[in-house]
Amino acid sequence: MRMWLREHRVLVGLVVIAAAVRLGMMVAYYPAFGYFYDTRGYLDAASATTPGTIWPFGYSAMLKVLRFGTGQIASVSAVQHLMGLAMGVAVHALLVRRGVRRGWATLAAAPVLLDARQIQLEHYVLSETLFTFLLLAAVTLLLWRDTPTLWLTGCAGAVVALAALTRTVGQPLAVLVVLYLIVRRVGWRHVAAFTVAVALPLGGYVVWYHRHHGQYAFNGYSGRYLWQRTTTFVDCSRTDFTPREREICPPEPLGQREVNDVYFWGLDHDHIGQRYPGPEHDALFAGFARKAVLGQPGDFVGTIATDMWHLVEPGWPAPQRIACTTDLWTMPSGGRSGNQVSDCTATLMVTGFRPAGSGGAAPTVTPLNSSLWAYGQTFVTPPSALLLGALLALALAACSRWLSRRPSRRRPGGGRQAADAALLGAMSVSMLLLGVTLSVIDLRFTVPLLTITPPALALAATAALGRRPGAPAGLPGPRTDEPAGGADSVTTVIARQKGKSVVRQ
């Protein structure tokens, strides 16, 4: 044990610091933070026995378990802080297992352990922490062995399904994993095991949703989500909308419209988003969105690209509503009462698990939460660094994959590390892109990248520099003139010399 602690003393130090900051959060901002509408929606679903119409039931199921087991809303933030610490340790262990240098593995684990926005979001009654934890668990199951067993592949599929039932952005990530397994050539049985393990829980949930809401879907607002994304660019004079569809077209001239989620929540002057409330009208919004995107595809792509840039652009002068949302993910100097949309600071969940939500706590300022506020102003990873890191990981993975096919650079496992890095890099970019496409510019969508992007970059750099996967820390990669058996292969030569077996790897 002492030897392990000595070898991993830097990681242990980071975990101790990270635990101390999280303990400070529990003391300074007891019991947890709430985020006006989202938190109330999750608590409502946790109190019900039917699936909600806006979000899948995954996170609410965890809330239901904690409410039954503890009855204390503080248990949510405590469990999520423990998840954050566990994710940091898991990132380090996985990377060392895959042959990344110990120092690089520790560096890759630092963001999820120490980033203030990560710690802040763990304290919220929101689904991001559970989603990221499940996603990392699935990745660890897939990448832990040179070739995952059928059992590990199936378990990874089940965990991906749980992540997709926590946040719908996880559903397309399952496709990336299938492509990864195909590229890795692990065999059709592994692909089938993963696919079935994903499909069964998702299919069961869709059937359950249909039983209570009359449609086969994961929620009743997917069309409305896409509709609100078109409200900033759609020109209703250019598209053949039906009379009902024209009723949900923003009346303001182009260039003078509100932020898109203002229309989603019906907070605009004409309340167009609430003219047809409820999931039963989702097909109307979906039809409008489909016509808008097909009629103005360039404007749609341009809008998404522009918002992606604004999300990571340093110093972007955000509109008031987006700036308000951004402030919610910044360490406050004190707790704040009230649950109004205009309240641009974290709100304490002093009413516990009651769906009515939050409020009632006086805004206090103490040396502890003032120190945490200062910490939050300093230890934050810029979103631009996360996106650039993901793109760099993809570029290095592509180069390494190409170079590993050349006879002069061929080495055991080189293509494997590149594929691993490409999977994580593609997941990072996809989560960011899907978050912006289906919602608004929100720094909350960058937080899961703190767990996925640094390992992608570490694996890609290791592949580019020729480190052997699975090699103990400190060992160099293999010589390029050694015979290669392809990704993950081990060439075992047994020679009988004086009755002894000599095994060369």
Q: DSSP labels for 237-288?
A: TSS---HHHHTTS--SPTTSPPPHHHHHTT-STT-GGGSS-SGGGHHHHHHH
Tens digit of each residue's pLDDT, the chain (505 residues) = 777 777 778 999 999 999 999 999 999 998 999 876 788 889 988 988 889 888 899 999 999 999 999 989 999 999 999 999 999 999 999 999 999 999 999 999 999 999 999 999 999 999 999 999 999 999 999 999 988 999 999 999 999 999 999 999 999 999 999 999 999 999 999 999 999 999 999 999 999 999 999 889 999 889 999 999 999 999 998 888 999 999 999 999 998 888 888 888 778 788 888 888 888 899 999 999 999 999 999 999 999 999 999 888 887 777 777 877 788 888 887 654 444 434 577 788 877 887 655 554 544 678 888 899 899 989 999 999 999 999 999 999 988 877 666 655 555 555 788 899 999 999 999 999 999 998 888 889 999 999 999 999 999 999 888 755 545 444 444 333 333 333 344 333 333 344 444 333 3
Radius of gyration in angstroms for the set of CA atoms belonging to the chain, rounded to a whole number: 24
Cα 134 from Cα 88, distance rounded (Å)? 13
Is the peptide bond preceding residue 355 cis, with omega within 30 degrees of 0?
no
Where helices occur in 48-167 by DSSP H, the ranges are 58-69, 74-97, 102-114, 116-122, 128-143, 150-164
Cα torsion 139, 143, 149, 150 to 10°: value is 30
Contacts of 483 (CB under 8 A, 6+ apart): 491
- And the tokens for 158? 């089940």
Residues in the chain, total: 505
> What is the 3-class SS of 138-184, one letter each residue?
HHHHHHCCCCCCHHHHHHHHHHHHHHHCCCCCHHHHHHHHHHHHHHH
Residues sharing a CB contact under 8 Å with residue 300, sequence separation 6 or more, in sequence order: 229, 230, 233, 292, 293
Q: How far apart are CA 327 and CA 344, in angstroms?
A: 6
H or E element at residue 347: strand 347-348
> Cβ neighbours of residue 469 under 8 Å, at least 6 residues apart?
98, 99, 146, 412, 413, 416, 417, 462, 488
Distance CA 126, CA 58 (A): 11
Strand partners, 494: 503
Dist. CA 491–CA 503, nearest whole Å? 9
243: Cα within 13 Å, side-chain hemisphere: 0
Write down the pLDDT at residue 400: 82
Residue where the block lists tokens 């120092």: 103
| Gap between the Cα atoms of 218 and 163, Å rounded | 13
Instruction: Retrieve residue 486's tokens.
Output: 């392809």
3-state secondary structure of 349: coil
Q: How far apart are CA 449 and CA 386, in angstroms?
A: 7
pLDDT in the model for residue 476: 43
| pLDDT tens per residue, range 442-455 | 889 999 999 999 99
Q: Which amino acid is at 205?
A: Y
DSSP code, position 474: T
